[in-house]
């Protein structure tokens, strides 16, 4: 048995509006969940206290849901609550993952389920961005775009070609024939550079500082930001980086800025890299992280900076689960 939820709003309180809205809501729930009417054991409707003219349960019966047990109730009047809203809970005899449906003005109740949403997560290296970004993307069944991987791919190309990283002109020239795509396989991002999957190669420690250096240049940033905006405009996604909330998507629905002490961040990166089999010197790694932060936050174009409207979370003393719970709480609060 699963429970599927849904909600919609009507323009005015009259029987015709209620019939139309209930029918559309139920049709959407049926088609998005692939259920048939005889699998719906029961339906419970509630409507806001400004609805008087017709029972939503009766509208459901008229719409053909005759075999289910139907019930309508009225909600209390809540200050600031949604107006003219009908909610429903369907109890369905089927083993499926429910797809809840929010239509009309009720979309604001669950933006994560009904509309497109972009979540921007910025912060310095090792602040936990990518781990929580992946978890949130999974939680909301949306895409995760690792924007750092794109700068890393540019840097890898420059390193492999022996390009002088300090020469903006040479890097700019190199970008002319850059073929960089981001693809997805089993929900995992694959970074493809000039036709080759470089997802692992770009994680090498030598690429980190180089990525920070090439990302200073205008031609690189504009090109990457354009690609990132294209992805974000087409679908719901979580993007992590340095400038998502300030430059790439200043209108993102949710913005977070994660931080942690340099010590904690260096520890995390150390564990991550050693687990992958790299030999790393802790002090050197910490020093590199500090230098990279400095370079990322002092560059002229789109530096690493907290957006004014971003929620700041210091993750130094928090577990991953705590950070994710706090972010979900903030998202739900705003929805
Ligand atoms: O998140 P990361 O460590 O993979 O990023 C590598 C570098 O890329 C980082 O030091 C700065 C740059 N970067 C950026 O300038 N803007 C982004 N949105 C993401 C990364």
Specify the range with the lowest mean pLDDT, choosing from 83-87, 136-140, 224-228: 136-140
At a CB cut-off of 8 Å and minimum separation 6, what does 118 contact? 232, 236, 237, 238, 239, 249, 252, 253, 254
Residue of 166, 306, 182, 178 whose CA lies nearest to 242: 306
At a CB cut-off of 8 Å and minimum separation 6, what does 168 contact? 217, 218, 219
Backbone angles phi and psi of 312, in degrees to 5: -95, 130
The band of 97, judged by pLDDT with boundaries at 50, 70 and 90, is confident
Q: Is the pLDDT of residue 251 over 70?
A: yes
Highest mean pLDDT among 75-84, 251-260, 272-281: 251-260
| Distance from the alpha carbon of residue 234 to the mean position of ligand 1, in angstroms | 22
Residue nearest to atom 20 of ligand 1 (CA): 148
Distance CA 130, CA 184 (A): 16
From 120, 217, 220, 241, give the residue whose CB has the most ligand 1 atoms within 8 Å, as the site to mutate. 241
The ligand 1 atom at the shortest distance from the C-alpha of residue 243 is 18
**Percent of the chain residues topping a pLDDT of 90:** 79
* Placement of tokens 């400095």 in the chain: 294
Q: Which two tokens stand for residue 284?
A: 């050197």
The ligand 1 atom at the shortest distance from the C-alpha of residue 151 is 8
Name the region of 141 (left: φ>0; alpha: ψ -120 to 50; beta: rest): left
Residues with Cβ within 6 A of ligand 1? 125, 147-148, 151-152, 208, 211-212, 215, 241-244, 292, 296
From 124, 212, 265, 299, give the residue whose CB has the most ligand 1 atoms within 8 Å, as the site to mutate. 212
From 133, 208, 215, give the residue whose CB has the most ligand 1 atoms within 8 Å, as the site to mutate. 215
Structure confidence by residue, pLDDT tens digits, 263-277: 999 999 999 999 989
Distance CA 251, CA 245 (A): 8
| Distance from the alpha carbon of residue 274 to the mean position of ligand 1, in angstroms | 21
Residue nearest to atom 5 of ligand 1 (CA): 148
DSSP H/E element including 41: strand 40-47
Structure confidence by residue, pLDDT tens digits, 229-242: 999 988 889 999 99
Average pLDDT in the 195-202 region? 96
At a CB cut-off of 8 Å and minimum separation 6, what does 225 contact? 243, 247, 248, 302
DSSP H/E element including 47: strand 40-47
At a CB cut-off of 8 Å and minimum separation 6, what does 185 contact? none
């Amino acid at each position: 048995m699963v429970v599927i939820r849904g909600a919609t709003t009507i323009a005015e309180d009259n029987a015709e509006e209620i019939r139309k809205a209930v029918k559309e809501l139920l049709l959407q729930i049926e088609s998005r969940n692939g259920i048939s009417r005889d699998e719906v054991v029961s339906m419970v409707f509630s409507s806001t206290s400004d609805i008087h003219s017709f029972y939503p349960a009766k509208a459901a019966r008229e719409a053909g849901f005759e075999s289910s047990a139907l019930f309508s109730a009225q909600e209390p009047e809540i200050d600031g609550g949604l107006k003219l809203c009908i909610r429903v809970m369907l109890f369905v005899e089927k083993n499926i993952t429910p797809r809840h449906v929010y239509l009309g003005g009720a979309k604001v109740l669950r933006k994560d389920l009904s509309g497109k949403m972009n979540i921007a997560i910025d912060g310095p290296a090792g602040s936990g961005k990518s781990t929580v970004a992946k978890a949130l993307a999974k939680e909301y069944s949306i895409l995760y775009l690792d924007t750092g991987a794109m700068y890393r791919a540019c840097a890898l190309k420059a390193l492999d070609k022996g390009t002088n990283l300090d020469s903006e002109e040479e890097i700019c020239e190199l970008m002319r024939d850059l073929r960089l795509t981001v693809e997805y396989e089993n929900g995992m991002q694959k970074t493809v550079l000039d036709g080759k999957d470089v997802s692992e190669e770009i994680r090498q420690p030598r690429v980190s500082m180089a990525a920070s250096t090439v990302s200073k240049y205008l031609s690189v940033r504009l090109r990457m930001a354009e690609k990132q905006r294209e992805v974000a405009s087409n679908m719901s996604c979580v993007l992590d980086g340095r400038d998502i909330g300030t430059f790439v998507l200043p209108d993102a629905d949710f913005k977070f800025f994660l931080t942690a002490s340099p010590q904690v961040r260096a520890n995390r990166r150390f564990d991550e890299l050693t687990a992958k089999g790299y030999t790393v010197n802790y002090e050197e790694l910490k020093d590199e992280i500090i230098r990279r932060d400095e370079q990322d936050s002092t560059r002229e174009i789109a530096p690493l900076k907290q957006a004014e409207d971003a929620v700041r979370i210091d993750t130094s003393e928090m577990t991953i689960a705590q950070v994710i719970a706090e972010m979900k709480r903030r998202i739900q609060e705003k929805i």
